[in-house]
Structure 1
Amino acid sequence: MSFVIEESFVKGKSLTGLCEDGWVATPDYVVVIDGATSKSDYRIDGITTGRKAMEIISDEVQRLPSGISASEFVNIINERIIRYYKTNHILDLVEQFPETRLTASVAVYCHSRNEVWLIGDCQCKIGECCFKNNKKIDSILSELRSFVLCSALRDGSSIKELQKRDIGREFIYPMLKRQYLWQNNLDDNSEYRYIVLDGFPVDYALIRIIPVGDRSIVLATDGYFDLYGTLQETEQALCHQIETDPLCIGMGCDKNNKSTKGVLPGNCSFDDRTYVRISCF
């Protein structure tokens, strides 16, 4: 069996800033990468930590041996990130301040194992079945942000005013920074902990491993609320969502489509996005 990439697309939310999403393919892997939105002002040569994480992972994937397991994949990527911290003398910094870590989520198709791995909050569609790996803390904070903004709209604020100053995002921002307490947390089994690639040890049980039983696979970042069988359908759904609910608080066609951030003035979406469709034969 072999595979081909039928469609691929990457687009940043901003027309000016560097996109923190990306994807890379080798004969055995297709990897979609979502560099995490930075919660600090820390930059590396002017580049956000999410962008740097995406670049490092993209480079390392091209060196991966064929047929490794999901846990081996995590170990190899994390070792590369740790080497970067040490080489650039920032290991003490990232240990003390987790918000400065190079952090990313990935969706991986491993051809030789016929599996998709979700590490962090990327997503996939296999045949007609969609799989998400959302963090519970994001769901809670998205609801809270939605409540704050819906209340402001009811009090007379306009959508455009709230796009310019997202008081819902401001309200949840301290808690967004506090979520790092649960990032790759190995100390307990709290429902709030979550897995990412940031160079530090992970709980392998939090990797979502999905056997591929269909010839059609879509890998994507969480810049899409919903995935469809083609890029055109997926983009059309996102555009409709943004047109009807630019604040991303569940005012559009799907009340469940809420986010911790909305579409800022001048931006084309609420987040960077990547879509890759694969056919196996």
Structure 2
Amino acid sequence: MEVLEEWMQSKSGVSEDSEDAYIVTPHYACVVDGATSCTGRKWTTHNLTGGQWASRVLTNAIHTMLPNQTPAEIVTQLTQTLADAYKQEGVLEFMKQHAEERATASLVLYVKASQEILMLGDCQAAFILNDGEIDKYQPTKYIDTVTSQARALYLESELLVSARNSISSLQKNDTGRDYIRTLLARQRLFQNNADAPLLYRYWVLDGFPINLNEGMLVHSVPSNAKEVILATDGYPDIFKTLQETEAHWNTIINQDPLMTRQYPSTKGVQPGAESFDDRTYLRIAL
């Protein structure tokens, strides 16, 4: 498999801090977005965050996967891999009762054998076609829209309520993030929960069963596609090259470091940080 471009960077600017991961094998190319913990739990192995731990467990599993697996088989195997890892850590029963503590990840994966893209959670994909057009897949979930817009509304009101508030001061003290913190923790109650209302529930890799019909998106590679792009949602949008994608990202974070306007997010760019989120971009020749 030919890698044309690859890039991964943490929001802090220190590569080792990233909760993203990616892997390319002869049979699969995958980008994993480990979710930021709302509780600050550290995992015993190497003192990792939940997002780091999940992304490493999953990429290690993909490295050894058989080449002809279906998307459903892949998701089932990766879910079981995380459950087995919980068991090794001695926390499986605890995680059944505490969704907010689970190590959680999204992914986008190219399956060479079946010429398909598997998407689960907050990642992006695009096909570059022979005529130069780009066909993007950028799924979102409603519950993220709710929390992002709530934070944006609160921060915009902060700028109006007092002249002492500024974009810079709110970067240092993100009161909008504080405002939605309880929602972010309770959001996990809707995660991989078939009993939760359809409007709010969502599906990710967290070691517990997924409704494949709801949570798994599968796209066939178009016959006229020449390249595929896999990326995390640390990029507000993706383009045909890494240079274009980075340029757009750079424009957005400089114009809107709070991330409340064109691309509302649950977090902004903190002082001293490089971005609002970890970001990964992988472009593969088909």
TM-score, with structure 1 as normaliser: 0.94
| Displacement after TM superposition at 1:187 (Å) | 2.2
Please, which of 150, 156, 173 is the counterpart of residue 181 of structure 2?
173
In the alignment, the residues of structure 1 paired with residue 199 and residue 87 of structure 2 have an alpha-carbon distance, to the nearest angstrom, of 32
Q: Which residue of 1 aligns with 2:158?
A: 152
Matches within 5 A, 1:95-114: 95-114=96-115
Q: Which moved more, 1:146-155 or 1:51-60?
A: 146-155
| Displacement after TM superposition at 1:30 (Å) | 0.3
* Structure 1 runs of 4+ with >2 Å offset: none
How large is the RMSD of aligned CA atoms in angstroms?
Answer: 1.2
Q: Which residue of 1 aligns with 2:143?
A: 137
Q: Percent identity?
A: 37
In the alignment, the residues of structure 2 paired with residue 39 and residue 216 of structure 1 have an alpha-carbon distance, to the nearest angstrom, of 36
Partner letter of residue 271 of structure 2?
A: P
Q: Which residue of 2 aligns with 1:231?
A: 242
Partner letter of residue 242 of structure 1?
A: I
In the alignment, the residues of structure 2 paired with residue 189 and residue 275 of structure 1 have an alpha-carbon distance, to the nearest angstrom, of 33
Q: Which residue of 2 aligns with 1:277?
A: 283
Question: Which residues of structure 1 form unaligned runs of 5+?
Answer: none
Partner letter of residue 121 of structure 1?
A: D
In the alignment, the residues of structure 1 paired with residue 70 and residue 194 of structure 2 have an alpha-carbon distance, to the nearest angstrom, of 21
Partner letter of residue 207 of structure 1?
A: M
Describe the SS at the equivalent of 1:215.
strand
The 8 Å contact of residues 234 and 279 in structure 2, kept in 1 or not, is answered as: yes
In the alignment, the residues of structure 1 paired with residue 146 and residue 80 of structure 2 have an alpha-carbon distance, to the nearest angstrom, of 32
After superposition, the C-alpha distances for 1:69-123 in whole angstroms (9 at most, x for unaligned) are 1111111111111111111211122112112111100000001111111111111
| Displacement after TM superposition at 1:189 (Å) | 5.5
Describe the SS at the equivalent of 1:75.
helix
Q: Which residue of 1 aligns with 2:76?
A: 75
In the alignment, the residues of structure 2 paired with residue 15 and residue 236 of structure 1 have an alpha-carbon distance, to the nearest angstrom, of 16
In the alignment, the residues of structure 2 paired with residue 72 and residue 187 of structure 1 have an alpha-carbon distance, to the nearest angstrom, of 24
- 1:244 equivalent in alignment to 2:255: yes
Please, which of 217, 222, 225 is the counterpart of residue 208 of structure 1?
217
Count of equivalent residues: 273
Partner letter of residue 12 of structure 2?
A: S
Q: Which residue of 1 aligns with 2:9?
A: 11
| Displacement after TM superposition at 1:207 (Å) | 0.6
Matches within 5 A, 1:114-133: 114-127=115-128, 128-133=134-139
In the alignment, the residues of structure 2 paired with residue 218 and residue 189 of structure 1 have an alpha-carbon distance, to the nearest angstrom, of 33
Please, which of 184, 199, 203 is the counterpart of residue 195 of structure 1?
203
